[in-house]
Amino acid sequence: MSKNWDGWLRDKDWQPVAPDEFKALPADEKLRRIRHSSAHVMATALRKVRPEATFAIGPATEHGFFYDVHVDSPITPDEIAAVQEGMKGVCKERQRFEVAVVPHAEAVEFFAEKGERYKLDILEKLVDQTVTFYRNGDFVDLCAGPHVPDTSFCQNVKLLAASPAHWRGEQNPSLQRVTGTAWDSREALKSYLAFVEEAKARDHRVLGQALDLFSFHPWAAGALWHPRGLTLRNELGRFWRELQPEYGYVEILNPVLYKPDLFQQSGHWEHYHEDMYIVRDASGEPDMALKPMNCPDTMLFYKTRSHSYRDLPLRVAESQILHRNEVTGALHGLMRTRSFVQDDAHIFLTPDQVQEEIRQLLGLVDRFYSLFGLEYSMKLSTRPEKYMGELEQWNAAEEALKASLDASGRGYWIDEGDGAFYGPKIDISIQDSLGRKWQCGTIQLDFQLPQRFELEYTAADGTRQTPIVIHRAIFGSMERFIGVIVEHFAGAFPVWLAPVQAVVLPISDEKQLDYAHEVMASLRKAGIRAELQQYESLNYRIRQAEKQKVPYILVLGEREQEQGTAAVRRHKVKEQRVVPVDEIVAEIAAKVNSRELDVHMAKVQAKFQEPGDTSTTDNPY
C-alpha cells in the first residue's frame, strides 16, 4: 500500500526562513539567495506547464540561475513564456520558503515514489549526511538552501533560454537546462538585460563571420581562419616575437605527435590521458598521442645539451598547435576549442632566481594587457587534492609565488586547491569592455617535471642540481584571446591590429582611378594594409567600410586629385577632414608603429559596463 506522502510532509517540522535574518545579510548573499530561490520558483511554474518534469539541480550562477530538468520533449519558446508568466503568479502568492530535516532513508523512499531519479542519484552521495527539504507552495525539493523568506523576493527575474544539457556526462540522458537571470531590483534587471543584448551584438562568433575573420564548421575541431582573421592573428604573434629578444627568450618548434612514453614520463598520462587524442595501433593499443600541452617536450629540448648555472634563467618559447578532447558541451566558438595554440614559454632557473623572474613576468603581463586597454585580476591557486611531489616542495613553491605577488603591490586572492597537479600557479583573468572576466594568462611554478625528466645544471660549487621550471602564458590560448578582443572592441580594432587599416574610395572610377592607385601605392609602401574599392555607389561603399569597421576611409574626388589630398573619415567619427596624402600616410603609419590604443577606441570599449560583479557559487546538494 502506497504511503500517504501528503500526510508525511504535513507532519514534518517545517521552519520558515526568518525575514529578519535575511535583512541583515550582506547584499551579495541576499542576491545569491534570490537567485537560488528563483530556480525553485521557476520549477514551481514549470511543473504546471510540463507536469511530467523531473528535476536534477538548480543552482545560483554568476548572474542568475539554471535548473536542469528531464521532460518528454524539448521546451519551446512559447512554453518558456508560459513559465515566465506562471512565475509572476507564484511571486504574487508570496509563498513562504520553509525547511525541514528529513532522515536519509525517508528521503530516498519519497523521491523513489515520485520517480525523481536525479534526486536519488544525489542522495547516493549523501549517505550519513543531514538531508533537508525546502518547500514553497506545493513544490518540495531536496536542497541544502538557504533561501529567501518568500517568493515575492523573486519578482525581478527573466527566463533566457532552454537548451540541451547532460546529467553528469554525455553518456547520461539528455536534459533541458532552463536558464534565467535574477536581480534584487527592476533597475538592476533592466540594466543586465541591456548588457545581454550588447553582449549578443558583440558575440565573436557572429562578428567573426560578419567581418570575414573566421568561420566554424561542424566537421572542424577549431576555427577556419580567413585571410583577414589570419592577419589579425599574425599581428598578435608578431608583437610577441618582437618582445622575445628584449626579454631573453629563444623559440623552438616541436612535433605534435609523441609516443605515450613521453606523457607517462611527465605524469600527464596518469592524470590527463582521458582528455587527450590517442592514435591506436592495429591491436587497439595506444601508439601515439597528440600533445595537449608543450611542457613535456620542452623538457626534452633542455636535455639536448648540458647546462651551467651561468646559462640560467633559460627562457624557451613555443607556439605549437595543441589538441585537447574537450566535451562537446564545453565548446564555445574560439573561447574553448579542441585545437588551439598557446603563447607558451618554460623558464628554467635556480631557486634564488625565482622571485625576480616572477617579478619580471608580472611586469610583462601588465605590458601585454595594457596594450589592449584590458584590466586584469590575479589569483594564487594552491595545491590540489591529487598532486605529484613532496609537500615541502609545494609549500616552498606557494610561498615563492605569494612573495612575488606581495612584492608586486597588486591585489590578488587565494583559490585553495585549484593548482595544477604538478605545481601551484598564478591565474590571470582579463576583464573586457562589458566587465566580463576571462581566464587567459597563467604563471606556474613546477618542481616536479624537472625531477621526472632528471634535468640538471652545474651549480657554482660544481655540484649537479635540478632546475626549477616556470610555465607561463599571457595570451593563453591564442584563439580565446582573439575571441575576447573581438568582443572587447566590438570588432573595431586599434589601427595596428585592424586587418584592413584603410580603404581608398574614388568617387569616379573613370576620373580618379589613376590617382587612387597612386594613393594605394603610398599606403602600401608605408606598410599599411589598404584596399581599393570601386564600382558601387560611393554611399554604399562608405556604409560597407563602416560595417567592416575599417579605421580609415579615404575618399578621393576631383578636388582631392588636384590638391594631392584625401577626404578622411574615421570609423564612427562624424567629422571629415581633408588631409594631404603624405600626412595621412604618416599618421596611420605612426599609429601602427606605436601600437596606439586610440582615444576613439577607448570610447568604444567604455560604451557599456556590466552592473556589478556578483560571482557566486552555490551547491544545493
342, 431, 501, 561: the active-site residue? 342
Is 618 marked active-site? Answer: no
Amino acid at 461: D
**Could you give the CA distance from residue 266 to residue 449 in angstroms, rounded to a whole number?**
6
Look at the block and give the residue holding cell 613532496.
Answer: 390
For the question of residue 425 being annotated catalytic, the response is yes
Radius of gyration of the chain (CA): 29
Is 383 tagged catalytic? no
Return the closest-CA partner of residue 242 out of 254, 234, 232, 231: 234
Q: Which three cell numbers stand for residue 132?
A: 533537508
CA 441 to CA 429: how far, in whole Å?
7
Q: What are phi and psi of 260, to 5 degrees?
A: -55, -20
| Residue appearing with cell numbers 525546502 | 134
Identify the active-site residue in 324, 383, 472, 549.
Answer: 324
Q: Which residues contact 51 (CB under 8 A, 6 or more apart)?
A: none
- C-alpha cell, 578: 581633408
Largest CA distance in the chain: 100
Is the separation of the CB atoms in 607 and 197 below 8 Å?
no
- Indicate if 324 belongs to the active site: yes
CA nearest to 342, candidates 248, 246, 273, 240: 240
Asked if 436 contacts 608 with a C-beta cutoff of 8 angstroms, the reply is no
**474 near 493, Cβ under 8 Å?**
no
Helix boundaries (H) for 127-182: none
Q: What's the grid cell of residue 487? A: 568582443
**Catalytic entry in 36, 425, 436, 472:** 425
> Does residue 295 have an active-site annotation?
yes
- Residue 298: CA count within 13 A, CB half-sphere: 25
> Active site includes 346?
yes
Active-site entry in 33, 119, 228, 471: 471
CB 332, CB 372: distance < 8 Å = no
CA–centroid distance for 422 within its chain: 23
| Closest C-alpha among 551, 585, 548 to residue 566 | 585
For 242, the grid coordinates are 618582437
Catalytic residue among 344, 427, 432, 446: 344
The residue annotated as part of the active site, out of 268, 295, 472, 501, is 295
Q: What is the DSSP string of 211-239?
A: TTSEE--TT-SS-EE-HHHHHHHHHHHHH
Residue whose cell numbers read 561542424: 218
Q: Which of 50, 147, 202, 346 is the catalytic position?
A: 346
Q: Do residues 156 and 148 touch, judged by C-beta distance below 8 A?
A: no
**Count of CB atoms situated within 10 Å of the CB of 386:** 9
- Return the SS3 of 95: coil
Q: Which residue has the cell 606598410?
A: 527
C-alpha to C-alpha distance for 22 and 340, rounded to whole angstroms: 46
The number of helix segments (H) and strand segments (E) in the chain equals 21, 30
Which residues are marked as active site? Answer: 295, 324, 342, 344, 346, 425, 471
